[in-house]
């Protein structure tokens, strides 16, 4: 995250519209509220937005990049070391969608259907969620300087809490404690988990004002998720909803420690203004985000986005720059939960891998024209539909085991439409290895015979079930 010194005055950023991760009052141990980590929109989702934005100066202390469809989704991208890396160098290049990647639940019973005819009761929703929302403060071990403030929410009654990774790491790197051993009644002297790190302390303020020291159970910066724990009982877990059925126009509430203004949370109400958004962070890319116009500010990071039934459907993570209103982004809860469950057990999620190289169908003709080594013109491909064209199935991968073939057009991934190679990568990078998904393919009627784009005949639509592999399997 940007330090207070680095963000001391407004500066204009050129190029793609940039976002500020809601890095919750980061001062790099300087005690100021930070503007956040810079991320960018993907071109296809937001080409109509302005091309420049100012980042505001960091607020005073609280009182006493675009991605081509021809982008390789490599392990490095999923791990946050190379957010986007082109395999082909621009249009006509190829996507390796190893199109690849990537939870203890609160009350995660099947979510009741939200009655969209009933408007959100803001007071009732706030009263129902506030006891489950916590304020998080990360500071130097001597407690003299504050590095970061953010939000989290209670997942289990015995103290498991979810937040964003950047809330914990805004002041630098963080040593993660080993997972706590199960309670041993025969060993009352068993040592508790070690603190989060030698140089950093994490404190959690509960809604009733009690402040507790927290331990990091797991953190994954590539997914911007973290799970921490406090020594407590009788906490109130959130009720988890489902983000699968979320639609534009659904009413939502964001609750959190906005700007660190005080000891009570801030609640803002709005609607879901878009779904399936993708943003590029400094070191990774987040996909399938929920976009909302509910006001989200620095300090809201890690807090819940709640639907009209009072259920958490997202984790507030990013906002547009301060010159733009109504652009907040939340990690969808359905995509976050598998990773959260692993992190709660001290396991860093393994990056998922499909094992195909693809290119957007809208780039096919230019790709064929510029092709020098893949013999694309020989593939039987169904053209005229949006999707991701498979140009190679990598051996000994999930795709190969499932029977996916070169020339197949992937049009849906577990029910979500795939319009480009970038879409495929985005969806895979939100998942962990071992996830079982259904892919809808369109295959040429004469597939396997060669001879170029499919001629006359009815294309074959086929659903294939795939168990995603792991990048480390290579």
382-399 tens-digit pLDDT: 988 999 999 999 999 999
- Selecting among 148, 301, 332, 433, the annotated active-site residue is 301
- Asked about 119 being catalytic, the answer comes back as no
Q: List the CATH code of the domain at 350-473.
A: 2.30.42.10
DSSP per position, 170-194: TTS--PPPPPPPPP-TT-TTPPPPP
Does residue 207 contact residue 130 with C-beta atoms inside 8 Å?
yes
**Can you tell me whether residue 212 is helix, strand or coil?**
strand
Q: Would residue 434 be called left, alpha or beta, if left means φ above 0 and alpha means ψ between -120 and 50 degrees?
A: left
Q: What is the pLDDT of residues 70-98, one digit of tens each?
A: 222 322 222 222 222 222 222 222 334 44
Equal CATH topology for 1-67+103-347 and 350-473: no
Which stretch of 24-28, 213-217, 463-467 has the lowest confidence by average pLDDT? 24-28
- Selecting among 69, 220, 224, 334, the annotated active-site residue is 224
Residues 6 or more apart whose CB falls under 8 angstroms from that of 23 comprise 1, 2, 34, 35, 36, 37, 148, 150, 166, 167, 170, 298, 301
The domain made up of 1-67+103-347 has a fold known as Thrombin, subunit H (2.40.10)
Residues 6 or more apart whose CB falls under 8 angstroms from that of 341 comprise 103, 104, 105
Measured between alpha carbons, how far is residue 463 from residues 222, 390, 437 in Å? 30, 15, 10
Which stretch of 88-102, 175-189, 264-278, 421-435 has the lowest confidence by average pLDDT? 88-102
- pLDDT, residue 260, reads 79
Measured between alpha carbons, how far is residue 405 from residues 8, 18, 380, 390, 394 in Å? 54, 38, 10, 7, 10
**In this prediction, what percent of the chain has a pLDDT beyond 90?**
40
- Asked about 166 being catalytic, the answer comes back as yes
Domain ranges of the chain: 1-67+103-347, 350-473
43 burial level (CB within 10 Å; 0-12, 13-18, 19+)? middle
Q: What is the mean pLDDT of residues 205-229?
A: 93
Provide the token pair at 297: 């500010």
Cα–Cα distance for residue pair 394/419, rounded to 1 Å: 21
Residues 6 or more apart whose CB falls under 8 angstroms from that of 385 comprise 361, 409, 411, 442
- Selecting among 100, 139, 147, 166, the annotated active-site residue is 166
């Amino acid at each position: 995250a940007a330090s207070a010194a680095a963000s001391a005055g407004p500066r204009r950023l050129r190029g793609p519209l940039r976002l500020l991760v809601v890095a919750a009052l980061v001062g790099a141990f300087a005690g100021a509220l930070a503007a956040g980590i810079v991320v960018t929109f993907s071109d296809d989702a937001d080409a109509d937005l302005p091309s420049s934005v100012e980042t505001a100066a960091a607020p005073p202390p609280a009182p006493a990049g675009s991605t081509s469809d021809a982008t390789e989704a490599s392990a490095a991208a999923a791990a946050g070391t190379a957010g986007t890396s082109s395999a082909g160098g621009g249009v006509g290049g190829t996507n390796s969608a190893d199109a690849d990647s990537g939870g203890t639940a609160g009350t995660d019973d099947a979510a009741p259907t939200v009655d969209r005819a009933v408007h959100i009761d803001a007071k009732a929703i706030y009263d129902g969620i506030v006891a489950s929302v916590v304020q998080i403060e990360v500071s130097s071990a001597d407690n003299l300087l504050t590095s970061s403030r953010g939000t989290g929410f209670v997942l289990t009654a015995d103290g498991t809490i979810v937040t964003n990774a950047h809330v914990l790491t805004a002041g630098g790197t963080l040593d993660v404690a080993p997972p706590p051993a199960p309670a041993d009644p025969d060993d009352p002297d068993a040592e508790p988990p070690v603190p989060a790190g030698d140089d950093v302390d994490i404190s959690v303020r509960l809604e009733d004002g009690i402040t507790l020291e927290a331990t990091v159970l797991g953190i994954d910066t590539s997914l911007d998720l973290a799970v921490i724990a406090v020594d407590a009982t009788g906490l109130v877990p959130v009720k988890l909803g489902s983000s699968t059925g979320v639609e534009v126009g659904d009413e939502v509430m964001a609750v959190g420690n906005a700007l660190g203004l005080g000891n009570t949370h801030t609640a803002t109400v709005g609607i879901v203004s878009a779904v399936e958004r993708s943003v590029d962070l400094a070191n990774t890319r987040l996909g399938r985000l929920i976009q909302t116009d509910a006001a989200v500010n620095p300090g809201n990071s890690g807090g819940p986005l709640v639907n009209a039934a009072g259920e958490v459907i997202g984790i507030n993570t990013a906002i547009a720059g301060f010159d733009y209103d109504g652009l907040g982004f939340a990690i969808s809860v359905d995509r976050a939960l598998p990773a959260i469950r692993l992190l709660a057990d001290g396991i860093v999620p393994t990056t998922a891998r499909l094992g195909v190289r693809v290119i957007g169908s809208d780039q096919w003709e230019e790709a064929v024209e510029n092709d020098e080594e893949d013999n694309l013109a020989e593939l039987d491909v169904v053209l005229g539909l949006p999707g991701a064209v498979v140009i190679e199935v990598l051996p000994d991968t999930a795709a190969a085991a499932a029977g996916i073939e070169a020339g197949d057009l992937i049009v849906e991934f577990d029910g979500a439409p795939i319009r480009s190679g970038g879409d495929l990568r985005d969806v895979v990078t939100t998942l962990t290895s071992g996830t079982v998904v259904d892919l809808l393919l369109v295959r040429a009627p004469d597939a396997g015979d060669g001879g170029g784009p499919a001629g006359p005949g009815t294309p074959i639509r086929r659903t294939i079930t795939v168990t995603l592999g792991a990048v480390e399997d290579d």
